[in-house]
Structure 1
Amino acid sequence: MSTASPPGLDPEQLRVFLDRARPGLVAGPLTARVIEGGRSNLTYTVTDGTGSWVVRRPPLGHVLATAHDMRREHRVISALHPTAVPVPEPVALCEDESVLGAPFYVMEHVAGTPYRTAGQLAPLGAERTRAAVLGLVDTLVELHAVDPRAVGLGDFGRPEGFLDRQLRRWGKQLDASRSRELAGIGELHAGLGRARPDSPAPSVVHGDYRLDNVLLDGEDRVAAVLDWEMSTLGDPLTDLGLLAMYSTPLDLPGSPVSTTAGAAGHPPAAELVERYAARSGRDASAIAWYTAFAWFKLAVILEGIHYRYTLGQTVGAGFDRIGDLVPVFVEHGLHTLKEG
């Protein structure tokens, strides 16, 4: 591990903070590195050569506090840690921006492997892949079974009108990213509004629940659910719809957007929904709407990336192909909504 300080984290400053917040936790000088793969907030591993921890902080530069709320992330994992939901143990929250230049929190380092593509799952084989994905569903059931009030999260969100607000929010996001005509996307948004289901009892929702936001242990079980930045109180079936969407093979060779759905042994979306309904006792008959909504959200996100690419505001490989994917996601959304 390099002794150089990664951008956004000064190991010496962090050591001073931890010595004050958790005396005796750190046994020596800290070294740190950035964990690659994050899409928004920055994540680092730090170690004193004996123990290791993970630090989360907002991205560098000006950010919206509401979009990168470290207190909120720390609060939800602190509330869930004593439950059956596997989350890293929180260590400390720091809201003093003079330490690292932004609020941050520290949590335990959980050993495990993230799987982001079908190719990464291939060495597991079909049987182990199937068990891992079914376990992902079971963990989602555990999350949605948590009583928010019982763990101190009764005011963590505003579940009343949740789906209406989501539709408005993503509609505004689309309007802010419009730079071209997109056939069908207005029809999809309007169709979602007309067919909006009544939400079941609210729960803690993760907001971005899929295989590459968890760590699997050596026995292919979920060791930790990560990336809680979009969590809130709301409609639990939005988590299931997103998981169903990511469990639909895209069949787009060379696509910069990848899923694990094409891996041998990966259960189809319908089986995951059936397992969730059976284990949670929830009515999932409206899942087509939630899955179509997930397709719409991803289309809007990708269109935003494409828009920034056209303005020269993105750096890296693959951004030139993002724009071609948006119509594919819109088509999937329309088809799913009509089939439902």
Structure 2
Amino acid sequence: MSGPLDARLIEGGRSNLTYTVTDSADPAHRWVVRRPPLGHVLATAHDMKREYRVIEALYPTAVPVPEPLLLCEDESVLGAPFYVMEYVAGTPYRTAEQLAPLGPERTRAAVLALVNTLVELHAVDPVAVGLAGFGRPDGFLDRQLRRWGKQLDASRDRELAGIDELHAALGRSLPGSPAPTVIHGDYRLDNVLLGEDDRIKAVLDWEMSTLGDPLTDLGLLVMYSARLELTGSPISTTAGAAGHPAPAELIERYAAGSGRDTSAISWYTAFAWFKLAVILEGIHYRYTLGQTVGPGFDRIGALVPVFIQHGLTTLQEG
């Protein structure tokens, strides 16, 4: 570093704040700084040490993550704990429109690479990389279902047809989990960086990572791969891009690469629909209280019943 630093917020994050920091005297020197959001936060939801730990553990493995450089827990420096990692050049694709210039072949290759990388992540031995105590895998699915049920109760102020039915049906048909692995928790195309060669350069946003059932990652990816013609949908909509593989092909590729039994994937996908419905209802609830700022929040409430119905249909067809 040879000059003053210039920091710029990276747009697109939903929770923790991420900045690129550049040496003004030598722009080739760039880093990324990640910190909790401003104001009051839940330590467990914005734990910088936890994020840094998982990236540090995965860096020597086949899973592409940025090199972790520094963890600072001294809040007097920036007003909150933060960590620094290397800057990785690449593009996060969030919409089908953004993917369109790649064309069908490159889009297909990128999405299949996403599955291959998920297989690599779930092949990591947590004990071997120092993550033995990173989570509580016993009873993982039951705790997840109860957690999101409580989250729904905390933000419910209207009738939502089918939501209780979906929650109860998921509880009645809880599958047996395979051996636990490191899971990402929010695995999708716009949480990775693609290089110009269409290879995944880095997997980002590890704030929801833990040890648990690997098929929850696959179920979420399958859900994000469903085609939804919804105006104003806040979830990733890359599935509409030409060349995007169908969910069945993603499941088959993951099963072949991982050797895991994916016969219960309908449950995991239905759970993903339920989880997203709860998250969207929470956003809608905060909107009704005047606690959200920005365009588009007025449309989110109308999307929740759609996610509920997809969850019910997916579970019934499984």
Q: TM-score, normalised by structure 2?
A: 0.98
Q: Which amino acid aligns with 2:282?
A: G
Q: Aligned equivalents of 1:63 and 1:223: distance in 2?
A: 30
Q: Mapping of 1:154-173 within 5 angstroms?
A: 154-173=132-151
1:36 alignment partner, SS class: coil
Aligned to 1:241: 219
Q: Confirm or deny: 8 A CA contact 2:232 2:296 kept in the other structure.
A: no
Q: Which amino acid aligns with 2:61?
A: T
Q: Which amino acid aligns with 2:141?
A: L
Of the candidates 182, 185, 189, which is equivalent to residue 163 of structure 2?
A: 185
Q: Which amino acid aligns with 2:247?
A: A
Q: Are residues 1:316 and 2:298 paired?
A: no
Question: Runs of at least 4 residues of structure 1 off by over 3 A?
Answer: 253-258
2:238 alignment partner, SS class: coil
Q: Mapping of 1:1-340 within 5 angstroms?
A: 26-48=1-23, 49-340=27-318
Q: Aligned equivalents of 2:305 and 2:215: distance in 1?
A: 25
Q: CA deviation at 1:29?
A: 1.6
Q: Which amino acid aligns with 2:189?
A: L
1:228 alignment partner, SS class: coil
Choose 236-245 or 254-263, whichever is displaced more: 254-263
Q: Aligned equivalents of 2:159 and 2:51: distance in 1?
A: 37
Q: CA deviation at 1:28?
A: 2.3
Q: Confirm or deny: 8 A CA contact 1:256 1:321 kept in the other structure.
A: no
Q: Aligned equivalents of 1:304 and 1:58: distance in 2?
A: 20
TM-superposition CA deviations, 1:33-85 (whole Å, max 9, x none): 00000000000000112310000000000111111000000000000000000
Q: Aligned equivalents of 2:240 and 2:257: distance in 1?
A: 25
TM-superposition CA deviations, 1:181-216 (whole Å, max 9, x none): 000000000000000000000000000000000000
> Number of aligned pairs?
315
Q: Which amino acid aligns with 1:28?
A: G
Q: CA deviation at 1:289?
A: 0.1
Q: CA deviation at 1:251?
A: 1.3
Q: CA deviation at 1:256?
A: 4.0
Q: Which amino acid aligns with 1:300?
A: V
CA RMSD of aligned residues (A): 0.7
Q: Confirm or deny: 8 A CA contact 2:232 2:300 kept in the other structure.
A: no
TM-superposition CA deviations, 1:263-293 (whole Å, max 9, x none): 0000011100000000100000100000000
Aligned to 1:16: none
Q: Which amino acid aligns with 1:41?
A: N
Q: Aligned equivalents of 1:105 and 1:211: distance in 2?
A: 23
1:88 alignment partner, SS class: coil
1:255 alignment partner, SS class: coil
In structure 1, list runs of 5 or more residues that go unmatched. Answer: 1-25
TM-superposition CA deviations, 1:214-261 (whole Å, max 9, x none): 000111111000000000000000000000000001111343444211
2:90 alignment partner, SS class: coil
In structure 2, list runs of 5 or more residues that go unmatched. Answer: none
1:51 alignment partner, SS class: strand
Q: Aligned equivalents of 2:284 and 2:275: distance in 1?
A: 14
Q: Confirm or deny: 8 A CA contact 1:132 1:221 kept in the other structure.
A: yes
Taking every aligned residue pair, what percent have the same amino acid on both sides? 83
Q: TM-score, normalised by structure 1?
A: 0.92
Q: Which amino acid aligns with 2:14?
A: R
2:31 alignment partner, SS class: strand
Q: Confirm or deny: 8 A CA contact 2:224 2:235 kept in the other structure.
A: no
Choose 138-147 or 256-265, whichever is displaced more: 256-265
Q: Aligned equivalents of 1:122 and 1:36: distance in 2?
A: 21
Q: Aligned equivalents of 1:37 and 1:284: distance in 2?
A: 32
